[in-house]
Amino acid sequence: MFVSAPHRRLGRDLDPAALAALAAVAERTRPIAASQTRLLPVLPPLAGLLPDRALRRGTTLTVGRPGDDGSLSIALALVAGASGAGSWCALVGHPGLGAVAAVDLGIDLDRLAVLPRPGVAWAEATAAVLEGVDLVVLCPPFPPRPAMARRLVARARERRAVLIVVPGRAGWPEPPDLRLQVDDVAWEGVDAGEGHLRQRRMTVTVAGRRSAARPTRHHLWLPAADGTVAGAGAGGH
């Protein structure tokens, strides 16, 4: 249980061979769950978007598009898998969460903290919640200074949390591990006065570092007709 936390402190005193042996033992004796904790699960339709088919702890993602439409939905959908599996999540800087949409995506409201209007203390508040929450969705209310953004990215890495930034108009000066862009958004279900909004088709472009250096494009229904997320195949374009 307390294998992970003191690792770094031990590292200063032990020689590399001993440390490697220790890591091997820890890996062998670790319960199945802990060996998976480097990754946090996502809903199956989103697995194909991510290089690890899951969210890697300690990483930062940005989700955005110029018009902003769909970005928050993507961010909420990304945390829904881990939330449903019992992870704590926080939403910082967004005063208007659509709670019904969040629940329909699979987010457990019992483990969701919302910091709706953190004001000028937004970066400090984000740093504070990164200490103890697995996933943080951040909508910066003001343009972040580069040093501030770097500090939050470092904090997420150090605390093995996942930081999902929805930059909106404020922007985000740090290159993320993964960048998701939403475009080609189209609603189905309404005509002139007929029907109701049924589902939204969107294209998500994912680019990043390492194995995700080459951008990939994915088609999603988000929300799908039942409020969840579903793959929309490659058709249409």
**Please, what is the minimum distance in Å from the beta carbon of residue 181 to another protein?**
15
**Spatial contact of 49 and 180, defined as CB atoms under 8 Å apart:** yes
Is 27 an interacting residue with respect to another protein (CB under 8 A)?
Answer: no
Which of 131, 145, 169, 175 lies at the binding interface for another protein (CB under 8 A)? 131
Q: Count Cα neighbours of 142 within 13 Å in the Cβ-side half-sphere.
A: 12
Which of 8, 9, 17, 100 lies at the binding interface for another protein (CB under 8 A)? 100
Which of 14, 24, 25, 113 lies at the binding interface for another protein (CB under 8 A)? 113
* Structure tokens given for 57: 């702890």
Is 148 an interacting residue with respect to another protein (CB under 8 A)?
Answer: no
Q: What is the DSSP letter of 160?
A: T
Which of 6, 9, 15, 110 lies at the binding interface for another protein (CB under 8 A)? 110
**In this structure, how many other beta carbons lie within 10 angstroms of the beta carbon of residue 128?**
16
Which of 33, 214, 234, 235 lies at the binding interface for another protein (CB under 8 A)? 33
Is 133 an interacting residue with respect to another protein (CB under 8 A)?
Answer: yes
Binding letters toward another protein, positions 153-192, x by CB under 8 A: --------------------------------x-x-xxxx
In degrees rounded to 5, what are phi and psi of residue 232?
-110, 15
What part of residues 59-78 is at the interface with another protein (CB under 8 A)? 67-73, 76
In degrees rounded to 5, what are phi and psi of residue 92?
-115, 130
Which of 49, 129, 148, 204 lies at the binding interface for another protein (CB under 8 A)? 129
In degrees rounded to 5, what are phi and psi of residue 8?
-65, -35
* Structure tokens given for 157: 């890495």
Q: What is the DSSP letter of 176?
A: P
Q: Which is nearer to another protein, 19 or 227 (CB)?
A: 227
**Please, what is the minimum distance in Å from the beta carbon of residue 149 to another protein?**
19
Q: Which is nearer to another protein, 15 or 194 (CB)?
A: 194
Burial class (CB in 10 A: 0-12, 13-18, 19+), 58: middle
CA angle 98/70/97 to nearest 5° reads: 15
Q: How far apart are CA 196 and CA 123, in angstroms?
A: 39
Which of 17, 32, 213, 234 lies at the binding interface for another protein (CB under 8 A)? 32
Is 195 an interacting residue with respect to another protein (CB under 8 A)?
Answer: yes
Which of 7, 23, 24, 116 lies at the binding interface for another protein (CB under 8 A)? 116
* Structure tokens given for 54: 């899951």
